[in-house]
A and B are shown apart, each in its own frame.
Chain A
Amino acid sequence: MGALIAAILLAALPLAAAAQGPGDLEAMAASNALYEDGRYEQAARSYQQLADKGYDDPALYYNLGNAYFKQGDLGRAILNYLRAERIAPRDGDVKANLDFARSQTLDVLESNEAPFVRFATGLLLRVTIGELGAVALALWLLFSACLLLAMIGPRHWLAWARPVTLAAAVLLMLGGGALAGRLYFDSASNEAVIVAEEVDVVSGPGSRYTPEFTLHAGAETGLMERRGAWARIALPGGSLQGWVPAADVEEVEAPRAAPSP
């Protein structure tokens, strides 16, 4: 049974890993050298090219965030730290730099979520979907195995198979619930970051509409929709929302494609 589980988990790993070329690692090393040399703009461009090729690596996003931060581009720095955090949520460096960059922003944005919701969300975001999925799958396999043994095994196996199956069922419910919650959060999340230095949020998709408030680089908002060259955003809590030029805001979780070989 253990071999079966291992085989399934290995088979579940993204097949695209095989598409990575050695030149990309060299490009990453060259980007790091540019950064060490203080040429942050060239470093950021080089990191960005790697990211645009389809890599979703936490170190890549972290370094890209650093390169933007050193240029004073607070919005794109926070954007890339957030992308790194999604992949490596327990990375202390990512968290430290994200906190530091957030402390430099000009806008105070308070979430009005209930403390319990904020706590539960914080716990869920400490693990990735892949980690939660693997745990939930392992629990499901354990539960299934116990159940099968109880059904088709000798009668005297029932003595231990029943409590183990029950325990596995409870764990499965917890793991499955966490996985479902995280999948829901990711599907419902529309986190975005203001990347312009300053932007007026207007009441409609056009510059002729009334400016309602102003945001600055690094402000974390929700992206509700895009309409042409304009994007509709909402601040945490949803009490303030409006339209900004689409180029001034970027989604944290942009749809990505695997790198082409």
Chain B
Amino acid sequence: MNVRALPTLMLALAALVSLLMLASPAAAQDSPISAEVDYTRVALDEILTLTVTVTGSTAMPEPNLPPIDWAEIISWSQAHQITNYNNAIATKAINHYRLQPTRIGSHAIGPISVEIGGQTYETEPIEVEVTRAGTGRVSPRPAPTPFVIPGLSPADVQDAFIVSAEVDNPSPYVGQQVTYTFSFLSALGFFGRPQGYEPPAFTGFWHREDPFWRDTRDIVGTRRYRGMEVNTLIFPAVEGAVTIEPSSISVPPSVFRRGRTLETNPVELEVRPLPDGGPDDFRGAVGDYRVAARITSGAAAANEPLALSLDIAGMGNLETLPDPEMPEIPGWRSFDGESSVHTQITDGNLTGRRTVERVYVPSAPGEFTIPAIPFSFFDPFAEEYQTVLTEPIPLTVAPSSGQEAALPPSDRDEVERLGADIRHIKPVPEELRPAGQPITGGIAYRLGWAAPLAAIAVAAGLKLYGRRQRDPVEARRRAAYRNAMRAIESPGSAGPADAAGAALSAYLGDVLGQGIAGMTQAALAEALSGHGAGEVLAGRVLDALSLSEGARFAPGIDPAGDSLLEEVRQLIADLEREINS
């Protein structure tokens, strides 16, 4: 090859590739939206499913449904599929509408539109005939819609990656095993087990933590796929409609493609409740089990422990299986022993064995029989409750070592009330209590309260009298106010001013403990001050005495009169208050 011709050849090759690239969109001019129904003729009591598929390379807008007045849309669901083919990304949104016809007749589902990249695409109308209830269906048998990756011709394109999720039983019973399968298929060659699998949270389920994997091969259309399945065993814990969230997987990048994350559709289940009418000992076990009891350890001797093991083996959620009620043997003490569970996955089912142990201590030697132990469960396949029994275990309990004379069997037990009745009558008392007033109503009782009160009053009176007898000055002082008031109230033949002066002089004499006749005004003021009277009060006393004397020595002039008497009354009251305070 001529080296100088190489650039020309390269340019020609580039032009050829460019032409190929430009030609691709022309090949992809098919409408990105398609619609189909599962039946073109349905009865009124049937459900019609309308599937609208939108493909493209970007986020999928929701299709616009025309008004449908002859049916009611009772549900809608959407699933997404992402395909990577040689770095060309294609997405597919599959919308399922469930229609409940409401009118008989020939109807049409008008064009369904979607707007992608500023351009509006529409489907062709779909004819549907609705017949009366009870008539048959007619399927349109539509041709499958090709899945188009933009930039590639439909003939060349198959999905490069396919992810999906499903369950093996969409309507299980509560507690019944369900297998959740995540499937990953690759048309680009199998590259080993991807590490980026993210399982859903399994909200509303108990699930086993260690899923089991399986390599798969498949042919879809004309392409061969290799991939794997991840199976997780789940057990519904709640009743009703439950949705398992989408799971996802990360495809690592390589030389030929970008890394990306693919997500499955959510999976919906309708969990059925267990039927009524379970046995009394039913504690929620669901599956298929068998039981066996055995003495596992210990000697069958009095006062020595022996262990009874109950094995529950079979298929079901053994890890959360409730323990059965172990028998109680009269006269034997019993204690909880160890429990263990061993499970494995056999043919896709959780199987294994759960062992419950109870330790017994026989109290006395003798012949005993450990009774059959029942275990009830719900068999979801037979859809009925079943009860299985262990075999009774005959047992000879020997005397304990060192116990030559066997102790009598212990009958200690909780006291159980068998009946209830009133307590029995009382015997005849030594004497019958007669009716009558209570003790508090008797005269003697009241005297018991009154006598001490009288004694206290007498004692107080005697004490007061004795105190006065011992201190005449004090007695005069205590009586001074009363005597002065009495003299003012009854002035007698003397004039008011004279009576006022006499009363005040007598009061002062009693209070001060000495007569005031002959005392100077200064001495009187000093004596009053010594007994607590203030200057103002002392001044009022001196003024009152002066007015009284003036009236007495000048009888023709009695300017004070009754007002002086009133002033002296007030003055004595003030003195009494001030001196005593």
Binding site for B on A (CB under 8 A): 8-9, 11-14, 16-17, 19-20, 24-25, 28-29, 32, 35-36, 50, 54-60, 62-63, 66-67, 69-70, 87, 93, 96-97, 100-101, 128-130, 133-134, 137, 140-141, 144-145, 147-148, 151-152, 179, 183, 256-259
Confirm or deny: B440 has a beta carbon within 8 angstroms of a beta carbon on chain A.
yes
Task: Decide yes or no: A25 and B439 within 8 Å by CB, A97-B422, A145-B452 being known contacts.
Answer: no
Determine the chain B residues whose CB is within 8 A of the CB of A55 once the complex forms.
432-435
Determine the chain A residues whose CB is within 8 A of the CB of B448 once the complex forms.
8-9, 12, 137, 140-141
A63–B424 Cα distance when bound, in Å, is 8
Is B435 within 8 A of A140, CB to CB?
A: no
Q: What are 15 A-B pairs at a CB distance below 8 A?
A: A8-B444, A9-B448, A16-B436, A32-B428, A35-B425, A56-B435, A62-B425, A66-B425, A70-B422, A97-B423, A140-B449, A147-B456, A152-B459, A256-B435, A258-B434
0/1 per residue, B421-463, Cβ < 8 Å to A?
1111111110111111111101011011101110110011011
Confirm or deny: B557 has a beta carbon within 8 angstroms of a beta carbon on chain A.
no
Out of A12, A17, A145, A147, name the residue touching B434 (CB < 8 Å): A17
Determine the chain A residues whose CB is within 8 A of the CB of B428 once the complex forms.
25, 28-29, 32, 59
Confirm or deny: B10 has a beta carbon within 8 angstroms of a beta carbon on chain A.
no
A97–B445 Cα distance when bound, in Å, is 34
A23–B36 Cα distance when bound, in Å, is 110
Determine the chain B residues whose CB is within 8 A of the CB of A67 once the complex forms.
425
Pairs A-B, 4 closest by C-beta atoms: A144-B452, A256-B435, A56-B435, A11-B444
Nearest residue (CB) in B for A134 is B439
Is A93 within 8 A of B426, CB to CB?
A: yes
Confirm or deny: B420 has a beta carbon within 8 angstroms of a beta carbon on chain A.
yes
A145–B459 Cα distance when bound, in Å, is 11
0/1 per residue, B391-429, Cβ < 8 Å to A?
000000000000000000000000000001111111111
A36–B449 Cα distance when bound, in Å, is 47
Q: Write the nearest CB–CB distance from B463 to chain A, whole angstroms.
A: 6
- Which B residues between 445 and 499 are near A, CB-CB below 8 angstroms? 445, 447-449, 451-453, 455-456, 459-460, 462-463
Is A12 within 8 A of B459, CB to CB?
A: no
Task: Decide yes or no: A130 and B440 within 8 Å by CB, A55-B432, A55-B433, A258-B434 being known contacts.
Answer: yes
Determine the chain A residues whose CB is within 8 A of the CB of B463 once the complex forms.
151-152
Determine the chain B residues whose CB is within 8 A of the CB of A69 once the complex forms.
422
A134–B420 Cα distance when bound, in Å, is 39
A140–B439 Cα distance when bound, in Å, is 15
Determine the chain A residues whose CB is within 8 A of the CB of B432 once the complex forms.
20, 24-25, 28, 50, 55, 57, 60
Is B455 within 8 A of A148, CB to CB?
A: yes
Out of A9, A25, A100, A152, name the residue touching B422 (CB < 8 Å): A100
Is A144 within 8 A of B435, CB to CB?
A: no
Determine the chain A residues whose CB is within 8 A of the CB of B462 once the complex forms.
152
Task: Decide yes or no: A54 and B456 within 8 Å by CB, A97-B422, A129-B439 being known contacts.
Answer: no
Q: Write the nearest CB–CB distance from A79 to chain B, whole angstroms.
A: 15
SS class, residues of chain A in contact with chain B: helix
Query: By CB atoms of chain B within 10 A, which of A12, A13, A258 has the most?
Result: A12
Is A133 within 8 A of B434, CB to CB?
A: no
Determine the chain A residues whose CB is within 8 A of the CB of B435 once the complex forms.
16, 54-56, 256-259
Nearest residue (CB) in B for A60 is B432
Q: Write the nearest CB–CB distance from B433 to chain A, whole angstroms.
A: 4
Q: Write the nearest CB–CB distance from A207 to chain B, whole angstroms.
A: 34
A41–B431 Cα distance when bound, in Å, is 24
Is A144 within 8 A of B433, CB to CB?
A: no
Determine the chain B residues whose CB is within 8 A of the CB of A128 once the complex forms.
438
Task: Decide yes or no: A32 and B439 within 8 Å by CB, A24-B432, A50-B432, A87-B433 being known contacts.
Answer: no
A130–B436 Cα distance when bound, in Å, is 12
Is A133 within 8 A of B459, CB to CB?
A: no
Nearest residue (CB) in B for A54 is B435
Determine the chain B residues whose CB is within 8 A of the CB of A97 once the complex forms.
422-423
Q: Write the nearest CB–CB distance from A82 to chain B, whole angstroms.
A: 14
Determine the chain B residues whose CB is within 8 A of the CB of A259 once the complex forms.
434-435
Is B452 within 8 A of A141, CB to CB?
A: yes
Determine the chain B residues whose CB is within 8 A of the CB of A59 once the complex forms.
426-429
Is A63 within 8 A of B425, CB to CB?
A: yes
Besides A12-B448, A50-B432, 14 more A-B contacts (Cβ < 8 Å) are A8-B447, A14-B436, A14-B437, A14-B439, A14-B442, A16-B436, A32-B427, A57-B429, A59-B427, A63-B426, A66-B424, A129-B438, A130-B440, A179-B440
Is B422 within 8 A of A144, CB to CB?
A: no
Query: By CB atoms of chain A within 10 A, which of B437, B445, B463 has the most?
Result: B445
Q: Write the nearest CB–CB distance from B238 to chain A, whole angstroms.
A: 39
Determine the chain A residues whose CB is within 8 A of the CB of B434 once the complex forms.
14, 16-17, 19-20, 54-56, 258-259
Is B445 within 8 A of A133, CB to CB?
A: yes
Task: Decide yes or no: A57 and B438 within 8 Å by CB, A32-B428, A63-B426 being known contacts.
Answer: no
Determine the chain B residues whose CB is within 8 A of the CB of A101 once the complex forms.
422
Task: Decide yes or no: A12 and B444 within 8 Å by CB, A24-B432, A32-B428, A50-B432 being known contacts.
Answer: yes
A87–B433 Cα distance when bound, in Å, is 10
A92–B408 Cα distance when bound, in Å, is 36
Nearest residue (CB) in A for B429 is A59
Q: Write the nearest CB–CB distance from A35 to chain B, whole angstroms.
A: 5
Task: Decide yes or no: A96 and B423 within 8 Å by CB, A8-B444, A141-B448 being known contacts.
Answer: yes
Is A130 within 8 A of B452, CB to CB?
A: no
Nearest residue (CB) in A for B442 is A12
Task: Decide yes or no: A57 and B445 within 8 Å by CB, A133-B439, A151-B463 being known contacts.
Answer: no
Nearest residue (CB) in A for B447 is A8
Is B433 within 8 A of A148, CB to CB?
A: no
Out of B422, B447, B449, name the residue touching A66 (CB < 8 Å): B422
A101–B423 Cα distance when bound, in Å, is 11
Q: Write the nearest CB–CB distance from A56 to chain B, whole angstroms.
A: 4
Determine the chain B residues whose CB is within 8 A of the CB of A151 once the complex forms.
456, 459-460, 463
Is B431 within 8 A of A17, CB to CB?
A: yes
Nearest residue (CB) in B for A62 is B426
Determine the chain A residues whose CB is within 8 A of the CB of B424 once the complex forms.
66
Is B433 within 8 A of A56, CB to CB?
A: yes
Q: Write the nearest CB–CB distance from B425 to chain A, whole angstroms.
A: 4
Is B439 within 8 A of A13, CB to CB?
A: yes
Nearest residue (CB) in B for A152 is B459
Q: Write the nearest CB–CB distance from A253 to chain B, whole angstroms.
A: 11
A57–B449 Cα distance when bound, in Å, is 28
